[in-house]
């Protein structure tokens, strides 16, 4: 992984470690780079840069030399198990069942008549109360 400390000495040590790892894993234990290729890179200017990423699956550092203007977006995938997992029944929560609704028989004609009479009496009582409240202070609306 890249150094946390970005001082030039830390970066040089990190790049040296990367070169040592590449040389160590090559068939002859060495890296060979043609001088003409180095000259080409030096003459290009700053249009390309060395990018480093980490491949988590293979656990490898990936170095790429590509244009600086190339946009790079980090997309983090959610960590999903590779195999389906079963949840034991003791860990699952079962929602409580709702009580069954009680079914009432429809009201009889007599019960409906009593309910209508009671509603009518309540409406009349409210109207009388409102009328008395208005008539108790007749000058309230004028002043």
Q: What is the pTM of this model?
A: 0.40
Q: Which tens digit of pLDDT belongs to each residue from 49-58? A: 777 888 888 9
Q: Which tens digit of pLDDT belongs to each residue from 48-85? A: 777 788 888 898 888 887 777 766 666 666 665 556 55
Cα separation, 117 vs 133, whole angstroms: 25
For the ranges 16-20, 33-37, 65-69, 125-129, which has the lowest average pLDDT? 65-69
What is the H or E stretch that residue 114 is in?
A: helix 109-135
Residue 101 has a CB neighbour count (10 Å cut-off) of 6
Cα separation, 25 vs 64, whole angstroms: 18
Which has more pLDDT, 87 or 28?
Answer: 28
Coil, strand or helix at 27: coil
Domain edges within the chain: 8-67, 107-136
């Amino acid at each position: 992984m890249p150094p946390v400390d970005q001082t030039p000495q830390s970066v040089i040590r990190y790049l040296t470690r990367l070169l040592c790892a590449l040389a160590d894993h090559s068939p002859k234990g060495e890296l060979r780079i043609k001088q003409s290729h180095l000259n080409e890179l030096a003459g290009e200017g700053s249009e390309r840069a060395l990018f480093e990423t980490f491949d988590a699956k293979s656990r490898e550092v990936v170095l790429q030399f590509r244009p600086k203007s190339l946009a790079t977006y980090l997309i983090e995938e959610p960590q999903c198990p590779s195999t389906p997992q079963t949840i034991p029944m003791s860990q699952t929560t079962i929602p409580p069942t709702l009580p069954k609704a009680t079914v009432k028989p429809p009201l009889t004609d007599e019960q409906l008549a009593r309910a209508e009479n009671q509603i009518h009496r309540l409406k009349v009582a409210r109207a009388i109360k409102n009328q008395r409240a208005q008539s108790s202070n007749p000058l309230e609306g004028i002043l």
